[in-house]
């Protein structure tokens, strides 16, 4: 009567699927990606495409080697999403081989060697980014001022092919420091914040995003819009983004209050660099973040604190990738210790005290 | 009244529209009734009739045996044509002891004892005794003998009776219809049960997707100021008694405990109606209302069915299938059980028969877990289903227990939301079964060891006794050691 083997219920389903979840994240990424492509022109689009193709190709190859069915796993969209996130954190005019090697590293080292989807300890995109940053510091830190698509002075289609696939760009001609990089360099050289601030874009500009930076992290507004979409569709919960940005802002505001000459304030840390992209899209990666609300709060707070520490006292101007990876490593531990309180039990797991009325 | 939030839960598409507006119909008598002796939790009933015997409607066919058990009665008059094994209303399809009755179509009742005094005048002991004799069990699906729950007043200090009209499972509308059509009788049944429990307060919880039932019950309860209607938010698993009680009182039932631990007893609306019928009309539990629904059924409906009617007969009455169903289920789609065969009879706990099409079931191939934590959010018991399943799959049952396996109520909320379509409940049921089997083995080993030790001790004692006797004989001057040895051998 009943088709197939008898399996326990429920015999109803919410119609969710892995592919739908990944698709929603991609949809949420569309605005900031589109804006990034517009802002940095053809080379950004080419870099995005080669990165996506290389993650998809690497995934297909690994699945075939592992003897898993290629189609259903490739179609779940997780590999493409990893490539997408990676591309958004790359300098937009980086050469093609940065995208390709990054894509391969993300999938092969970041994901498949752990056993594929759901098994990886670290966020694949961040693994790739960190490997690239350490291996190719020049290519990974060469940023440029916006060159909007089709605008006068921007490279045309063929020139752009040359930038991405050919000789690369003439760095000294157009390079422009990111907000975080610029401020950090100035602080190290002994300048104080009031003097530096004159050359830093105002909050308005940082919110819109018309400034130099990685492909998809310049427009705070569009990233937040995507994040709100993810919250509304319940792909992510508020715990990680709020804990992360909250901790980062609290720390930066505190130090800024103590020493306003050397520690930039909360808005600087919130709007510059990868803070918002990281908080809404990368730290919230389902596979590599804790599963309980309490664990997610701790995880987010840890990410925020580490980002601040790295940005402020370490050698790199940006610490998002390192911070998230360090907290990824703690996720199994967090999940082990922070479990939800079970119905009818106290936090320690003992049954709650029976009512005194029972004699 | 003030309600409290429960954590977790899901909002499945309720699909109650298929049958919600259809009045309860009486199903004509089938040619044969198959009445299992075990339709309840506890010991099976022991048969009192023999093959060939003529029985009257309502006559006792098998009496309860043991503390937790329930009798079964003849759903109609007719001849007993067999007492033997017949496929059970269970996914296993195994056979159980069943009485087969061939109706004579005359519907001749046995003598019935009726009670007409007000509920407040009844003797609590007597109510429980009559409910037990009527074979009433929890009709929400749990089938725990109701009289045992009515006797909880002896062991717990109770203050509230909750009548569960949540009916949170999708598709099912039998309780909804009962509340609309028999509100006064349900209220009377509830008052009788409250009297048996020795409590004043009665709260009737009904989900907001049943506004007509809420209105009907409100109307029927208007003259009793101790009866309140709670309008519950529609959210699965609101009908889980521990979660219902938490919604109403804000209090959690202790783990491994009963709601009686916090002074509350919960009974289903259909049970309340059965109690009314048993006390007022003396009628035992011989029929029940079943929702037959699902898109594969030609003519869905709410049917009053004699216990023992086969599922096949019921489906035929509903016009058969429009297409071959992907799943045939007893109960609701969330916690119901698959039926391997349509020959099985309707039993006291059958609240629904669903024939679902593939698009309704929406099953997909299981993919790897992406740790999205949807299951953690959906779990109404605060468990971590993904870790429980991981440990169960790896055979690490203790690990699964550490993440809450024994506190799982198998509500299926986790599997309902899982984007990877992982059959989480299947893993949990497997692990629970394994644990039970393991405990049984352990118990058996312990028993064996205990008995072996006892035997060794006994042998040792005998040996010593003999040795003592021997030395005594030596002392008293028995001469021949050889004779003594011969005696010992």
ipTM metric = 0.88
For the residues A161-179, what does the mean pLDDT come to?
Answer: 71
A69 touches chain B (CB under 8 A): no
B136 with B251, same domain: the answer is yes
- Inter-chain CB proximity B383 and A340 less than 8 Å: yes
* Nearest partner of B170 among B198, B207, B199, judged by Cα: B207
User: Is B82 part of a structural domain of the chain?
Assistant: no
Contact status, residue A350 vs residue B252, Cβ threshold 8 Å = no
Q: For chain A, percent helix, then strand, then coil, each to nearest 5?
A: 60, 0, 40
- Domain CATH for B230: 3.40.50.11540
Whether the per-residue pLDDT at A198 is higher than 90: the answer is no
B275 with B395, same domain: the answer is no
B21 with B139, same domain: the answer is yes
- Inter-chain CB proximity A9 and B421 less than 8 Å: no
Whether the per-residue pLDDT at A191 is higher than 90: the answer is no
Report d(CA B361, CA B171) in Å as an integer: 12
A340 touches chain B (CB under 8 A): yes
User: Is B231 part of a structural domain of the chain?
Assistant: yes
What are the tens digits of pLDDT across the range B14-57? 999 999 999 999 999 999 999 999 999 999 999 999 999 999 99
Report d(CA A216, CA B347) in Å as an integer: 62
A138 touches chain B (CB under 8 A): no
Q: What is the DSSP string of A219-266?
A: -HHHHHHHHHHHHHTTSS-SHHHHHHHHHHHHHHHHHHHH-TTTS--H
User: Is B259 part of a structural domain of the chain?
Assistant: yes
Model confidence band, residue A208 (pLDDT cutoffs 50, 70, 90): confident
A117 touches chain B (CB under 8 A): yes
Q: Considering only CB atoms, which chain B residues are within 8 Å of A6?
A: 91, 338, 340
A76 touches chain B (CB under 8 A): yes
Whether the per-residue pLDDT at A242 is higher than 90: the answer is yes
B266 with B382, same domain: the answer is no
- Domain CATH for B410: 1.10.1060
B162 touches chain A (CB under 8 A): no
- Inter-chain CB proximity A344 and B255 less than 8 Å: yes
B121 with B249, same domain: the answer is yes
Whether the per-residue pLDDT at A354 is higher than 60: the answer is no
Report d(CA B390, CA B403) in Å as an integer: 10
Tally of domains within chain B: 2
Q: Of B287, B303, B318, at which residue does a domain stop?
A: B287
The closest CB to that of A355, out of B242, B261, B327, belongs to B261
Model confidence band, residue A353 (pLDDT cutoffs 50, 70, 90): confident
Model confidence band, residue A357 (pLDDT cutoffs 50, 70, 90): very low
**Does residue A108 or residue A184 have the better pLDDT?**
A108
For the residues A321-333, what does the mean pLDDT come to?
Answer: 96
- Rg over alpha carbons for chain A, rounded to the nearest Å, is 22
Per-residue model confidence (pLDDT) at position A3: 45
Whether the per-residue pLDDT at A2 is higher than 50: the answer is no
**Candidate from A214-218, A285-289, B269-273 with smallest mean pLDDT:** A214-218
Whether the per-residue pLDDT at A152 is higher than 80: the answer is no
User: Nearest-CA residue of chain A relative to B405?
Assistant: A342
Model confidence band, residue A13 (pLDDT cutoffs 50, 70, 90): very high
B255 touches chain A (CB under 8 A): yes
- Inter-chain CB proximity A355 and B263 less than 8 Å: yes
**Could you list the residue range(s) of the whole structural domain that residue B153 is in?**
16-27+116-287
CA dihedral A206, A212, A216, A219 (to 10 degrees): 20
Q: Of B287, B307, B331, at which residue does a domain stop?
A: B287
User: Is B352 part of a structural domain of the chain?
Assistant: no
Tell me which residues of chain B, numbers 41 to 100, contact chain A at a CB-CB cutoff of 8 Å.
91
Q: What percent of chain B has pLDDT over 70?
A: 97
Per-residue pLDDT of chain B (489 residues; tens, 9 = 90+): 889 999 999 999 999 999 999 999 999 999 999 999 999 999 999 999 999 999 999 999 999 998 899 999 999 999 999 999 999 998 888 999 999 999 999 999 998 877 777 777 889 999 999 999 999 999 988 899 999 999 998 899 999 999 999 999 999 999 999 999 999 999 999 999 999 999 999 999 999 999 999 999 999 999 999 999 999 999 999 999 999 999 999 999 999 899 999 999 999 999 999 999 999 999 999 999 999 999 999 999 999 999 999 999 999 999 999 999 999 999 999 999 999 889 999 999 999 999 999 999 888 889 999 999 999 999 999 999 999 999 999 999 999 998 889 999 999 999 999 999 999 999 999 999 999 999 999 999 999 999 999 999 999 999 999 999 988 888 776 565 555 555 555
Model confidence band, residue A180 (pLDDT cutoffs 50, 70, 90): confident
* Nearest partner of A270 among A295, A245, A253, judged by Cα: A245
Q: Of B287, B307, B329, at which residue does a domain stop?
A: B287
B254 touches chain A (CB under 8 A): yes
Give the residue from A1, A3, A5, A9 with the most B CB atoms within 10 Å of its CB, the best one to mutate: A9
Per-residue model confidence (pLDDT) at position B483: 58
User: Is B200 part of a structural domain of the chain?
Assistant: yes
What's the predicted TM-score (pTM) here?
0.88
User: Is B398 part of a structural domain of the chain?
Assistant: yes
Per-residue model confidence (pLDDT) at position A170: 56
* Nearest partner of A212 among A272, A301, A128, judged by Cα: A272
Q: How far is B264 from chain A (nearest CA, A)?
A: 11
Per-residue model confidence (pLDDT) at position B206: 97
Residue carrying the six token digits 């605005």: A31
Report d(CA A246, CA A252) in Å as an integer: 10
User: Is B93 part of a structural domain of the chain?
Assistant: no
B136 with B256, same domain: the answer is yes
User: Nearest-CA residue of chain B relative to A74?
Assistant: B367
Q: Considering only CB atoms, which chain B residues are within 8 Å of A340?
A: 376, 379, 382-384
Q: How far is B376 from chain A (nearest CA, A)?
A: 7
Give the residue from A5, A6, A8, A116 with the most B CB atoms within 10 Å of its CB, the best one to mutate: A8
Per-residue model confidence (pLDDT) at position A359: 39
User: Is B342 part of a structural domain of the chain?
Assistant: no
Per-residue model confidence (pLDDT) at position A298: 97
Q: How far is B309 from chain A (nearest CA, A)?
A: 18
User: Nearest-CA residue of chain B relative to A7?
Assistant: B426
């Amino acid at each position: 009567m009943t088709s197939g083997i008898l399996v326990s219920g429920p015999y109803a389903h919410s119609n969710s699927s892995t592919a739908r979840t990944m698709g929603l994240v991609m949809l949420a990424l569309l605005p900031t990606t589109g804006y990034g492509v517009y802002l940095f022109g053809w080379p950004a689009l080419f870099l995005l495409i080669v990165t996506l193709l290389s993650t998809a190709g690497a995934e297909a190859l690994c699945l075939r080697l592992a003897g898993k069915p290629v189609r259903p796993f490739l179609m779940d969209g997780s590999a493409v999403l990893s490539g997408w996130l990676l591309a958004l954190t790359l300098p937009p005019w980086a050469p093609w081989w940065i995208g390709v090697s990054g894509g391969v590293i993300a999938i092969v080292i970041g994901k498949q060697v752990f056993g594929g989807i759901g098994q990886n300890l670290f966020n694949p995109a961040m693994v790739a980014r960190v490997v690239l940053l350490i291996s190719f510091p020049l290519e990974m830190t060469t940023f440029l001022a916006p060159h909007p698509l089709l605008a006068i002075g921007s490279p045309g289609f063929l020139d752009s092919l040359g930038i991405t696939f050919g000789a690369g760009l003439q760095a000294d001609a157009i390079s422009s420091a990111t907000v975080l990089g610029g401020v950090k360099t100035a602080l190290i050289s002994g300048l104080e914040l009031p003097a530096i601030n004159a050359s830093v874009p105002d909050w308005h500009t940082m919110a819109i995003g018309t400034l130099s930076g990685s492909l998809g992290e310049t427009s705070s507004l569009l990233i937040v819009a995507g994040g709100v979409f993810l919250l509304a569709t319940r792909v992510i919960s508020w715990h990680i983004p709020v804990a992360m940005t909250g901790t980062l802002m609290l720390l930066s505001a505190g130090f800024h209050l103590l020493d306003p000459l050397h520690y930039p304030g909360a808005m600087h840390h919130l709007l510059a660099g990868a803070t918002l992209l990281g908080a809404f899209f990368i730290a919230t990666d389902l596979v590599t973040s804790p599963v309980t609300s309490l664990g997610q709060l701790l995880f987010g707070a840890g990410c925020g604190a580490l980002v601040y520490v790295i940005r402020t006292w370490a050698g790199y101007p940006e610490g998002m990738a390192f911070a998230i990876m360090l907290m990824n490593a703690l996720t199994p531990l967090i999940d082990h210790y922070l479990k939800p309180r079970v119905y009818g039990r106290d936090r320690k797991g003992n049954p709650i005290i029976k009512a005194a009325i029972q004699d | 009244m003030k309600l409290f939030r429960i954590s977790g839960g899901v909002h499945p598409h309720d699909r109650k529209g298929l049958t919600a507006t259809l009045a309860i119909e009486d199903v004509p008598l089938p040619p044969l009734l198959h009445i299992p002796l075990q339709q309840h939790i506890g010991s099976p009933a022991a048969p009192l009739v023999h093959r060939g015997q003529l029985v009257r409607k309502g006559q006792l066919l098998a009496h309860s045996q043991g503390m937790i058990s329930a009798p079964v009665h003849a759903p109609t008059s007719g001849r007993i044509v067999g007492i033997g094994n017949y496929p059970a209303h269970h996914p296993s399809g195994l056979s159980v002891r069943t009485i087969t009755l061939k109706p004579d179509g005359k519907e001749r009742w046995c003598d019935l004892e009726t009670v007409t005094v007000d509920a407040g005048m009844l003797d609590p002991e007597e109510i429980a005794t009559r409910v037990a004799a009527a074979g009433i069990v929890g009709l929400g699906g749990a089938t725990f003998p109701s009289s045992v729950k009515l006797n909880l007043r002896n062991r717990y200090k109770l203050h509230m009776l909750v009548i569960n009209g949540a009916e949170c499972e999708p598709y099912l509308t039998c309780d909804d219809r009962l509340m609309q059509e028999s509100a006064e009788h349900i209220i009377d049944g509830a008052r009788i049960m409250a009297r048996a429990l020795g409590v004043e307060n009665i709260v009737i919880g009904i989900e907001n997707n049943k506004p007509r039932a809420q209105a009907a019950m409100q109307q029927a309860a208007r003259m009793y100021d101790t009866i309140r209607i709670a309008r519950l938010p529609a959210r699965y698993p609101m009908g889980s008694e521990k979660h219902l009680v938490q919604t109403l009182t804000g209090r959690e039932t202790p783990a491994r405990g009963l709601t009686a631990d916090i002074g509350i007893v919960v009974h289903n609306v259909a049970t309340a109606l059965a109690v009314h019928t048993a006390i007022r009309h003396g009628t035992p539990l011989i029929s029940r209302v079943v929702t037959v629904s699902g898109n594969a059924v030609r003519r869905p409906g709410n049917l009053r069915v004699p216990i023992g009617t086969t599922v096949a007969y019921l489906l035929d009455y509903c016009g058969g299938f429009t297409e071959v169903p992907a799943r045939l289920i007893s109960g609701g789609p969330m916690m119901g059980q698959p039926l391997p065969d349509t020959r099985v009879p309707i039993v006291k706990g059958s609240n629904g028969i669903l024939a679902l099409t593939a698009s309704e079931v929406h099953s997909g191939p299981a993919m790897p877990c992406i740790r999205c934590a949807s299951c953690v959010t959906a779990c109404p018991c605060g468990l971590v289903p993904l870790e429980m399943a991981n440990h169960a799959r790896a055979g690490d049952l203790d690990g699964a227990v550490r993440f809450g396996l024994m506190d799982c109520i198998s509500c299926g909320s986790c599997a309902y939301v899982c984007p990877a379509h992982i059959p989480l409940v299947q893993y949990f049921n497997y692990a629970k079964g394994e644990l039970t089997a393991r405990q049984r083995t352990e118990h058996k080993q312990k028993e064996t060891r205990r008995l072996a030790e006892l035997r060794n001790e006994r042998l040792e004692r005998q040996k010593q006794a003999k040795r003592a006797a021997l030395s005594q004989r030596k002392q008293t001057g028995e001469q021949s050691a050889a004779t003594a040895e011969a005696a010992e051998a």
